[in-house]
Structure 1
């Protein structure tokens, strides 16, 4: 039986923007969960989570020395701060969209 957890139970995140590009850094709450994040938090899963934002590409950068993952989503901000009519044109709250993702439970949990 495979159970699932919410990413927010195991990590925190910070979002930023540059034009129409969204960047979200994810940090495990416990360094022991970094390997699990590397395995489970893939570009494909992030792209699926952000499908309604229609990013053209999703890239992941592993920052092993910081025990963090940084995701860069191109074209995810409806044109960027000067074009979007959205409430959060900078995408600062979009880290919560990522943290709401459901993932398989870590092996040691």
Structure 2
């Protein structure tokens, strides 16, 4: 019987992030283009919003860039009113992109 292994997103992809006002923008880029379909299937806007429950108060939109093996997420109302207004300790893009990479993927054989 094959052993199933849970993996984090960090094992399959890296991320880039930015922020403007109260919007966080996170791109997830597959290390290997062959993993892109798996990421695209699993990383839905709903799943990302659930992962950031309590942080992202607005809409999450996803843009797919298959030629780059990347997904771009735009998360509104994600920075406590904006980087300069938030009392959160460094809760901007880079911290959120690191948190995104901790997301667990479904087990594979």
TM-score (norm 1): 0.89
Q: How big is the shift at 1:89?
A: 4.7
Runs of 5+ in structure 2 lacking a partner?
A: none
Query: 2:69 maps to what in 1?
Result: 67
Runs of 4+ in structure 1 off by over 6 angstroms are none
The 10-residue stretch of structure 1 (57-66 or 84-93) with the greater mean CA deviation from structure 2: 84-93
User: 1:91 & 1:77 partners in 2: Cα distance?
Assistant: 9
Equivalence for 1:12 = 14
Residue segments in structure 1 that go unaligned for 5+ positions in a row: none
The correspondence of residues 1-109 of structure 1 with structure 2, limited to 5 A, is 3-105=5-107
Aligned mates of 1:41, 1:89 — CA distance in 2: 21
- Deviations, residues 73-98 of structure 1 (Å, cap 9, x unaligned): 00000011221112215332111110
Deviations 1:33-61 (CA, angstroms, capped at 9, x unpaired): 00111101111110011002033100000
Compute the RMSD of aligned alpha carbons: 1.7
The count of corresponding residues between Structure 1 and Structure 2 is 107
